[in-house]
Amino acid sequence: MVQSQVIAFSDPMAYQAAVRAADVEILVKSKGHFHAELTRIDLDRLWIQRGFDSLPRIVRAANDPKRSPILFLDGVDQSSLLLSGMEVSAGEMVVYSPGAINHQQTSGPCRWATMSLTPEDLAAAGKAIAGRELTAPSDTLVVRPPPAAMARLMALHGAACHLAKGAPETLAHPRVAKALEQDLVHAMIACLAGGASTGSKSCGRAHAKVVARFEDFLAAKRYEPVYLAEICAAIGVSERTLRTCCQEHLGMGPVHYLWLRRMHLARRALLRGDAITTTVTKVATDFGFWELGRFSVEYRALFGESPSVSLHRPPDGLLDRNRTWSVTLPILHS
């Protein structure tokens, strides 16, 4: 079955929930009006996504271990992003390890693209096209494919997403869908088979494990104020090591990251709360903010509105639904 969908968002929570093949958490880092658009296409074997988000953010993504995904920046003029401490520039490709958990940092608007096959389909396509089975690396890598191969992949990916947005009925035509999938898979394999690892950008397992333990600790203490010494004792690292790992993977120290995450959790509770039975005070204290005046000031500085305005915001303001298309038709196999 071919499925395609283009969705526009005004809320990061709705945006993160719509991303396919990964469990995603988005933390916006700066004040401003957030808007995003996500294109999703499911072909017979290949899954495609293309996204745009308008504000600097941190993303924690846990990939589906049943898929072998790649990621690249959509456009030659796109600003680089940091992926778990690795810089990813236009013309480069991220090749994920199985079920990888990673953090992305952006410093401004970001346009990104992904593709994925199952591990079995990736191996079979590699053998048929490149003459050898291709498997996901044991560590997530950044590679630089040959420029011509990367340009072709980006052009085909963009063409598929333009069809999903402007002519979904054409994309859903069985022969069009089959031809496009064949071209995309061929271009993807050409990039993977001919790509050279950037070498210095391989992931550091030790630092990634520290950040994972840090995340687990925060999840267990989600509604409690915690302190740096307590965190370090619980996860078994020094303050210096934790600061280094967090700066590398998250772009900020552990205390600031904890504050940012709790602020977003509080915003989610306010936006989804009942204005009659929920109060700003209850939400703030539930997430460990005991200085209520300071909470309100910092909340307004980060989100551009007071906590009470968020609490009384109409629910239908979270997601723009007027730009959604979806087509599902059977694929006929020859």
43-93 pLDDT, tens per residue?
999 999 999 999 999 999 999 999 999 999 998 888 899 998 889 999 999
Residues 193, 129: Cα–Cα separation, whole Å: 9
Res 318 pLDDT > 60: no
The structure's pTM equals 0.83
Half-sphere exposure of 82 (CA within 13 A, CB side): 16
pLDDT tens sequence across 260-312:
988 998 998 999 888 889 999 999 998 888 899 999 999 999 998 999 999 99
pLDDT value for 204: 62
Question: How much is the pLDDT for 225?
Answer: 67
Measure the CA–CA gap between 132 and 192, rounded to whole angstroms. Answer: 11
The span from the CA of 34 to the CA of 49, in Å, is: 19
> What is the side-by-side strand order in the sheet with 22-28?
22-28, 57-63, 101-105, 81-83, 86-88
* Alpha carbon 127 to its chain's center: 30
Q: In CATH, which of 1.10.760.10, 1.10.10.60, 2.60.40.1760, 1.10.1740.10 is domain 205-316?
A: 1.10.10.60
Hey, where are the domains in the chain?
Answer: 2-203, 205-316
205-316 shares the fold of 2-203: no
- Res 326 pLDDT > 70: no
pLDDT of the residue at 95: 95
Share above pLDDT 90 across residues of the chain, in percent, rounded to a whole number? 61
Residue 329 pLDDT > 50: no
pLDDT for res 196: 81
Domain boundaries 2-203, corresponding CATH code: 2.60.120.10
Beta strands of 89-149 (E only): which ranges? Answer: 93-95, 101-105, 110-117, 141-144
Contact between 154 and 188 under an 8 Å Cβ cutoff? The reply is: no
- pLDDT tens sequence across 224-233: 767 788 899 9
Query: According to the model, what pLDDT value does residue 208 have?
Result: 82
**Residue 232 has what pLDDT?**
92
